[in-house]
Amino acid sequence: MKTALVTAGTAGTGRAIAERFAREGVNVAITSRSVERAMEAAAEIAAKYSVICRGYALDQFEESSVLALYDALEADGLLPDAVVLNAADLGIGMNALTVSAADFARVITTNIVGEFLLIREAAVRHMIEQGKGAAVIIGSNTSRRAIRNRSAYCASKGGLVSLAKSLALDLGGYGIRVNAVLPGSIHSERWEAFDEETLAAKRARVPIGREAYPDDIAEAAYFLASDAASSISGTELIVDGGVDGQLFPGT
């Protein structure tokens, strides 16, 4: 694997994923809605791991933005052998009784159509020609167990699991594998603001007693993209500390 593309790779889980590939000597392209943030993070990763890392702007809601990204990657000699799709519209606070059709559709388009386009272009422009490639979709365990006021988000994540399976079939004959990682709660900066009581309550819902960290998701993504998973395609790896396996939290 020479090059990996990681969407939303400037911070948090995306940054951890980008650094996981770079640590193995893989060149990395990262995206952000802000090209300035993408370029700044890319420079830091390149300096830290002595690999080529470049940042690009991407709004995956717009097909033109996806196509422009791949034009730039091709011009820079960074068409990816692996794509890890971490960017998402979170669709927070969308009451099912009041959300507009436009807002609901925005989440679906960004999270499903956008990721389909990113995989399609990687296949058409590079992976089919080389007879090998891997796509890893960062989904969510909410594709299996819904949460309130996030119907568009949950629906999109469920759709991504089906997309991974469908594309694994459609692209498998070209040597391209497609899988999904389904995280649960991930420790982020906002967790630092929680008081001890809130943290304890959140962790009590997780059978192993703690939330995942960005590096946990990065390890799963790297594994599925690597040759160690060369016979794995069309499936999902749940990384949620056992939440998916329980009927009721704390029991």
Residues labelled catalytic: 153
> Which has the closest alpha carbon to 4: 132, 133, 120?
133
CA dihedral of residues 102, 146, 177, 57 (deg, nearest 10):
40
Query: How many other β-carbons are positioned within 10 Å of the β-carbon of residue 94?
Result: 17
Cα separation of 63 and 157, whole Å?
Answer: 20
**By the 8 A CB rule, do 130 and 229 touch?**
no
Of 160, 170, 176, nearest to 236 (Cα)?
160
The whole-angstrom separation of Cα 18 and Cα 213 is 15
